[in-house]
Amino acid sequence: MQVVIRELHEPEEIMQIPRLEQAIWNDPNDTIRSGTLMALVHEGALLAGAYLQEPNAPERLVGFIFGFPTNRPTDHHSHMAGVLPEFQGSQIGLLLKRYQRDWALSKGYERVVWTFDPLRGLNAHFNLRKLGATFHRYIPNCYGPMGGINAGAPSDRAYAVWELRTPRVFQRMYAPAPTPEVAGLPLANRLEQQVPVEAYLGLSDPRILVQIPEDWGHILQTDPALALAWRMHSREVFGHYFARGYRAVDFVRGPNRYLLERVAGNHPPSPSFGGNPEP
């Protein structure tokens, strides 16, 4: 299987994107008009597709990435990135992000920012472990009610920051990251059978852990009351520790936990937000 990433400029290519969005996120009521995409591309947005090329078969669009300029000349906002479900886990998402990084650097950007659901462990692992992004901002109910795979709870989001020129980012994109040493670190919350039962808000250690569900997608689909309880719990824990100078810098599995570090000095600015989340 060969995958080629290339920018999309022609109307015939761009018109495929809303259909691809629907296939990825299963929400026909929340797609971007192709005309809007064309206008944004003309004004400096990035729209790139991942094409599967196989012998004796026409190439197939299986993923895409879309981002646009912000009011900060150093920052590019990554609005959406997605891969068809049958190709998720095949490194296509990583190829799209590598392409985006190279493209952004060629345009003079220093960082890429985006949002993601902080309770989705796969996305957290990808964003923090594989890409080297961090976040210190939590946005409650970022988009209001959502449909498709995101239906079932308020649309809280983490605001990821990807510092493109750091050695950490480059190393993580091209080699497996070392597993962080977390043995003995204090937990900021307690679970019983995947139910959040207590938040510990009095910690002041340099490094702490925050546990999240093992399968947030299943909870969204099957238990609305538990999904809402998790949203309220994560708002409390992340909001409390971010306000006290912590930042999410890594992610470990078995069970799913964020590693938060207390950062000396000031955080980078947290601009007002607009946009849709990456998956």
154-186 per-position pLDDT tens digit: 999 999 999 999 999 999 999 888 889 999 999
Q: In which band, very low, low, confident or very high, does the pLDDT at 264 lie, cut at 50, 70 and 90?
A: confident
Q: Are residues 153 and 257 in the same domain?
A: no
Rounded to an integer, the average pLDDT of 239-268 is 90
Residues 22 and 57 in one domain: yes
- Residues 27 and 66 grouped into a single domain: yes
Task: Quote the pLDDT of residue 263.
Answer: 85
pLDDT at 27: 84
Q: Which two tokens stand for residue 158?
A: 């983490």
Q: Is residue 276 part of a domain?
A: no
Q: In the predicted model, what is the mean pLDDT of residues 215-237?
A: 96
Looking at residue 30, its pLDDT comes to: 82
Q: Is the pTM of this model over 0.85?
A: yes
Same domain, 43 and 91: yes
Q: What pLDDT is stored for residue 279 in this prediction? A: 58
Q: Is the dihedral of CA 111, 211, 198, 203 positive or negative?
A: negative
Q: What's 66's domain CATH number?
A: 3.40.630.30
What is the domain count for the chain?
2
Q: How far is the C-alpha of 204 from the C-alpha of 209, rounded, in Å?
A: 12
User: What is the mean pLDDT of the segment spanning 192-220?
Assistant: 96
Residues of the chain above pLDDT 90, percent: 82
Q: Using the 3D structure, point to which of 125, 147, 174 is the last residue of a domain.
A: 174
Is residue 32 left, alpha or beta, with left meaning phi > 0 and alpha meaning psi from -120 to 50?
beta
What confidence tens digit (pLDDT) does each residue in 116-144 have? 999 999 999 999 999 999 999 999 999 89
Q: At what angle do helices 34-42 and 17-25 cross, to 10 degrees?
A: 120
Average pLDDT, the chain: 92
Which residues span the domain enclosing 62?
Answer: 2-174
Q: Averaged over 92-101, what is the pLDDT?
A: 96
Q: Is residue 268 part of a domain?
A: no
Q: What is the mean pLDDT of residues 96-118?
A: 97
221 backbone dihedrals φ, ψ, rounded to 5°: -80, -25
Q: Average pLDDT for residues 189-199, to the nearest whole number? A: 96
The answer on 29 and 161 residing in a single domain is: yes
Q: Are residues 218 and 251 in the same domain?
A: yes
Q: Given pLDDT bands bounded at 50, 70 and 90, which one contains residue 277?
A: low
